[in-house]
Structure formats: C-alpha cells, structure tokens
Amino acid sequence: MSRYTLATSIFNRFTGVLLSVGQLALVYWLLAVASGSRAYAHAHDILSQPIAKLFYIVLMVGFSYHLVAGVRHLIWDTGRGLERTQAKRSAWIVVIVSMVLLVVLMYCLLAQGISR
C-alpha cells in the first residue's frame, strides 16, 4: 500500500470516529428538544459555547472528508479505480472535493450566522 492510500484510509477512520462522537451531540440535541423548552434552553446554552462551536467546525471537516472518501470506497466496491495510478489520482480528488465541500459548508454557516 502506498503512502497516499494509507493516509486517506487512516484519515477516513479518524473522521469516522469523530462523526460517531458528533452523533452523540446530535442525539443529545434531539433529547433536549424532546425534554421541553426549559431543558432545551439549558442544552442550547451548552451547545452554543465557543468550544462547542469549534467542535462543529471540526465535525464539518470530518463530515466533508468522510462523505467524499466514503463515496470513493463505494466506487472501489464496484471494482473500478483500483489500479495504482487511479488510486493515487482519486486520493487527490477526494482531498480537493472534500475541501470544496468544506468551504461551501463554512460559507453557508457564516452566511446563516450573519443573517440572524
């Protein structure tokens, strides 16, 4: 296995575990909504802390990467793109596309934050 396929594989695992933690935050939020407006207000304060906002940015990095890298895996499963040169090229495509996705997400988030 070459360096870039190794790096993309490890980062896919790392971002996957990160998203598992993010899912805990999602379910905590869903439970807060289900617990009524007072409980929600308390959870909202916790989820609006600067450290939580930093975590959402990290989550968006993880989401952008894991989504695109996951699609690459699904394409591999069809038996395509497994040649060494193709795998090297798709590793770069994954990095570039996930960065573009991240920029779009960050832009939407910032635009949303300003509009409120």
The residue ranges that bind other proteins (CB under 8 A) are 13, 16-17, 19-20, 23-24, 26-27, 30-31, 33-37, 40-41, 44, 63, 67, 70-71, 73-74, 77, 105, 108-109, 112, 116
The residue among 69, 65, 52, 62 whose CA lies nearest residue 20 is 62
Residue 11 or 40: the one with the smaller Cβ distance to other proteins is 40
Residue 54 or 108: the one with the smaller Cβ distance to other proteins is 108
Residue 13 or 84: the one with the smaller Cβ distance to other proteins is 13
Residue 37 or 85: the one with the smaller Cβ distance to other proteins is 37
Q: How far is the CB of 13 from other proteins (least distance, A)?
A: 6
Distances, alpha carbon 102 to alpha carbons 87, 105, 111, in Å: 22, 5, 14
* DSSP per residue, 71-115: HHHHHHHTT-S-SHHHHHHHHHHHHHHHHHHHHHHHHHHHHHHHH
Beta-carbon contacts of residue 2 (< 8 Å; ≥ 6 apart) = 84, 87, 88
Q: How far is the CB of 89 from other proteins (least distance, A)?
A: 22
Q: How far is the CB of 85 from other proteins (least distance, A)?
A: 25
